[in-house]
């Protein structure tokens, strides 16, 4: 196993075996409702990234759910912000504007790449892992040429709908941010923005496709294992015990 896998808050199922590597201490990380504060998650990724840069830690996967929040990637402009003036958090990942919230699984990928210039290969690997796992759970997603993520095809309801969005940052050869998959979350907040800057497509989810039983807690361990299979070899490791940890409350 390459990655240390961490299930945080509501996605930390009771039957998941605990690993031994502790996460850096970030106050207020996991709220009492089991959601992970967004700004605190940025602090956690920064701390993990510094550990990786210092060769004190290998690569990590963080699986979690956030409270409602809009985030703006490097290519977003202020005229794309929500029409109602809702707060937006600018971040360093690629891409433009998106939304996170309860019912959506977010997985962050923090680690040093073996080939620091192969960003496109990493995105393709993440995309392949997501599509493979979502199909295994019964969702008929595929890739779309020129657009990253996992997509439901166009049908009588309208154009193709994005179920999973990928947005990564790479600095000093170390990745952060990752992928978000719509499971049971409300899709209406996407209506206040142009998600990922794509105006000619829609947004979908497991629940929207009739698969209400696929919650973030159900999807999380499967997606972490899928990412391990597909992109684990792209990351440098350090000598440390590996496994899966649960953080229920910080």
Where along the chain do its domains lie? Answer: 4-247
- Consult the annotation and say whether 151 binds a ligand: no
Does pLDDT of 241 surpass 80?
Answer: no
Copy the structure tokens of residue 188. Answer: 């209406």
Do residues 94 and 75 touch, judged by C-beta distance below 8 A? yes
Query: CA nearest 150: which of 228, 226, 74, 244?
Result: 226
Side-chain half-sphere CA neighbours of 29 within 13 A:
22
pLDDT of residue 250: 46
* Torsion sign (Cα): 205, 209, 215, 221: negative
- Consult the annotation and say whether 100 binds a ligand: yes
Q: Label residue 243 by pLDDT band (50, 70, 90).
A: low
- Consult the annotation and say whether 147 binds a ligand: no
Note if 196 is an active site residue. yes
Residue 68 backbone phi and psi in degrees, to 5: -55, 130
Task: Quote the pTM value.
Answer: 0.91
CATH of 4-247, picked from 3.40.50.300, 3.40.50.150, 3.40.50.1110, 3.30.930.10, is 3.30.930.10
Copy the structure tokens of residue 185. Answer: 């979350």
pLDDT of residue 238: 82
Do residues 97 and 71 touch, judged by C-beta distance below 8 A? yes
Q: How far apart are CA 62 and CA 4, in angstroms?
A: 9
> Which of 18, 54, 183, 196 is an active site residue?
196
Over residues 91-117, the mean pLDDT reads 90
Over residues 26-54, the mean pLDDT reads 95
- Residue 28 zone, left/alpha/beta (φ > 0; ψ -120 to 50; rest): left
Copy the structure tokens of residue 66. Answer: 């956030």
- Consult the annotation and say whether 6 binds a ligand: no
Q: Label residue 75 by pLDDT band (50, 70, 90).
A: confident
């Amino acid at each position: 196993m390459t990655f240390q896998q961490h299930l945080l808050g509501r996605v930390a199922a009771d039957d998941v075996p605990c690993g031994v590597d502790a996460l850096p201490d970030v106050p207020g990380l996991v709220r009492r409702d089991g959601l992970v504060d967004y700004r605190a998650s940025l602090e956690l990724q920064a701390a993990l990234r510094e550990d990786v840069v210092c060769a004190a830690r290998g690569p990590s996967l963080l699986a979690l759910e956030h409270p409602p929040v809009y985030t703006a990637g490097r290519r977003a402009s202020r005229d794309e912000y929500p029409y109602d003036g809702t707060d937006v958090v600018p971040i360093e990942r690629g891409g433009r504007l998106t939304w996170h919230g309860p019912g959506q699984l977010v997985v962050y990928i923090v680690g040093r790449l073996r080939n620091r210039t192969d960003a496109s290969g990493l995105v393709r690997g993440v995309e392949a892992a997501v599509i493979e796992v979502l199909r295994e759970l019964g969702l008929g997603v595929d890739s779309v040429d020129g657009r990253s993520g996992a997509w439901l095809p166009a049908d009588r309801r309208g154009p193709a709908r994005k179920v999973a969005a990928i947005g990564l940052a790479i600095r000093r050869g170390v990745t952060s941010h990752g992928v978000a998959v719509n499971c049971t979350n409300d899709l209406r907040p996407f209506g206040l923005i142009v998600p990922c800057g794509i105006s000619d497509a829609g947004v979908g989810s497991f629940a929207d496709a009739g698969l209400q039983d696929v919650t973030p807690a159900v999807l999380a361990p499967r997606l972490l294992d899928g990412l391990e299979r597909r992109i684990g070899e792209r990351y440098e490791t350090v000598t440390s015990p590996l496994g899966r940890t649960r953080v229920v409350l910080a």
